[in-house]
Amino acid sequence: MGIGPYASHVTSGEHAAEPESFVVRLQSGERLHYLDWGAPGALRDPSREPGDPSIAPGDPSIVPGDPPPLPLVLVHGIAQTAWSWAPVARRMCAVTRVLALDLRGHGLSDAPRSGYDLETLALDVLTVMSGNGWGVDVGGPPAVLAGHGFGAQICVTAAASRPGSVAGVALLDGGWEEVGEQTRSTPAEFLATIAEPPEVLASMDAFLADRRDFDPGTWDSDQERAARAQVDQKHAGHVGSVVRAGVLRQVVDAMFAYQPLEALAKVAAPVVILVAEAATADDEDERERRLALVDVTRARGEAALPPPRVVRFPGAGHNLMRYRAAEVADELTALLGSAATSARTPDDPA
């Protein structure tokens, strides 16, 4: 599987409030689906130039002399889909071009029998970037990557393998810990813990109610769509995960094989780590997570790399895109700025 602009694109978007749906076809034939949330309106329309009377004074979409902002690529976690990023993507498309992809074996992407190791999944992300003209393989600008949970591991792997293609990395509650140590489990035990109980899968209504009850205050149409995208409804009325059991086993094996200290010591780009802290600081698991962050900072220092920026979200659950969408968007906006500065070459204007 190589990287290239595989321009087999199919669109299904209808209006500005909704993302467009595209497919990139790999050389091996599999299709990767992604949502394109677009970019600020002024950047979408090449006829709008600085000075255009339709641009309000102070409109941040176009600033004379400024280069276009770096694009943003969003990567979901295990058994999720691109729709899990919707609350953040809706905010970020006012800042820059935003894509959110379905990993292979997830959502509307194809599910081949193999290819669920981190290196291949990272190559999939880089291929979607290349299909949009981004990255060194196609002579385009770098992108900023943001990954949630398992997606954070993929983003780190992509940044380490193609440093010229990735200008910044955001890790949302994942990517800096060894999963075996964090969970104190084996891959098989972890699989058992994430299996849905039969009563949750009894019907679509039961599944949606379970997701809604995680936090009713943040439940909305985006959350319902994200939940529906995770499952298929069977003929008997019950639902099942769209991620096949064999795929899930391979993904979990990849999660457990990830070595964060080694991986993050290879990422030269700026790194921001967003930490969900549902427990108090004196909780044993929370202490272990903080020690893992110390280890990451030390490993990057030993590699002569800047420390990660660490942002904590006290009282928040793992799904930071749902529970703290506005704050996550603020951090990604800041990362886009620092990544753009770091990505400039000596010949670029200051």
CA atoms within 13 A on the CB side of 348: 11
Contact 39, 96 (CB under 8 A): yes
- Sorting pLDDT into bands at 50, 70 and 90, what band is 66? low
Closest residue by Cα to residue 35 from 93, 110, 113, 112: 93
Residue among 126, 88, 79, 127 nearest 107 (CA)? 79
Taking the alpha carbons at both ends of the chain, their separation in whole angstroms is: 38
CA angle 228, 234, 239 (to 5 degrees): 45
Task: Pick 342 or 21 by higher pLDDT.
Answer: 21
Residues 170-203 pLDDT 10s:
999 999 999 999 999 999 999 999 999 999 999 9
DSSP lists the bridge partners of residue 241 as 231
What token pair was written down for 297? Answer: 């900072």
Is the pLDDT higher at 5 or at 126?
Answer: 126
Confidence of residue 45 (pLDDT cuts 50, 70, 90): very low
Burial class, 172, CB count within 10 angstroms (exposed 0-12 / middle 13-18 / buried 19+): buried
The two structure tokens encoding residue 346:
């000596």
CA distance 130 to 164: 12
Amino acid at 43: L
| Amino acid letter for position 315 | G
- Which value, to the nearest 10 degrees, does the dihedral of the CA atoms of residues 344, 275, 218, 202 take? 120
Q: What is the mean pLDDT of the chain?
A: 88
> Tell me, what's the pLDDT at 14?
31
Band (41; pLDDT cuts 50, 70, 90): low
The CA distance from 7 to 128, in Å, is 10
- CA dist 273 and 181 (Å) reads 18
- 32 contacts 23 by C-beta, under 8 angstroms: yes
Is pLDDT at 68 greater than 90 in this prediction?
A: no
Q: How many CB atoms lie within 10 A of CB 18?
A: 14
CB neighbourhood size of 245 (10 A): 11
- Domains of the chain, residue spans: 20-43+63-182+245-343
* Cβ pair 332, 146 in contact under 8 A: yes
CATH class given for the domain over 20-43+63-182+245-343 = alpha beta
pLDDT digits (tens, 9 = 90+) for 206-251: 999 999 999 999 999 999 999 999 999 988 889 999 999 999 999 9
What type of residue is 323? Y
Which residues pair with residue 312 across a beta bridge? 275
Q: In this structure, are residues 58 and 85 in contact, taking their beta carbons and an 8 Å threshold?
A: no
Angstrom distance (rounded) from CA 259 to CA 237: 41
pLDDT of 129 reads 98
Is residue 105 over pLDDT 80?
A: yes
Q: Is 346 exposed, middle or buried (0-12, 13-18, 19+ CB in 10 A)?
A: exposed
Residue 61 has pLDDT above 70, yes or no: no
Structure tokens at 49: 């130039």
pLDDT of residue 236: 86
Phi and psi at residue 183, in whole multiples of 5°?
-95, -15
- What per-residue string of b and e applies to 133-169 under the rule 16 or more CB within 10 Å gives b? ebbbbbebbbbbbbbbbbbbbbbbbbbbbbeebbbbb
Burial of residue 303, with CB atoms counted within 10 A of its CB: 0-12 exposed, 13-18 middle, 19 or more buried: middle
The DSSP symbol for 306 reads P
Q: What is the pLDDT of residue 47?
A: 46
pLDDT band at residue 17 using 50, 70 and 90 as cut-offs: low
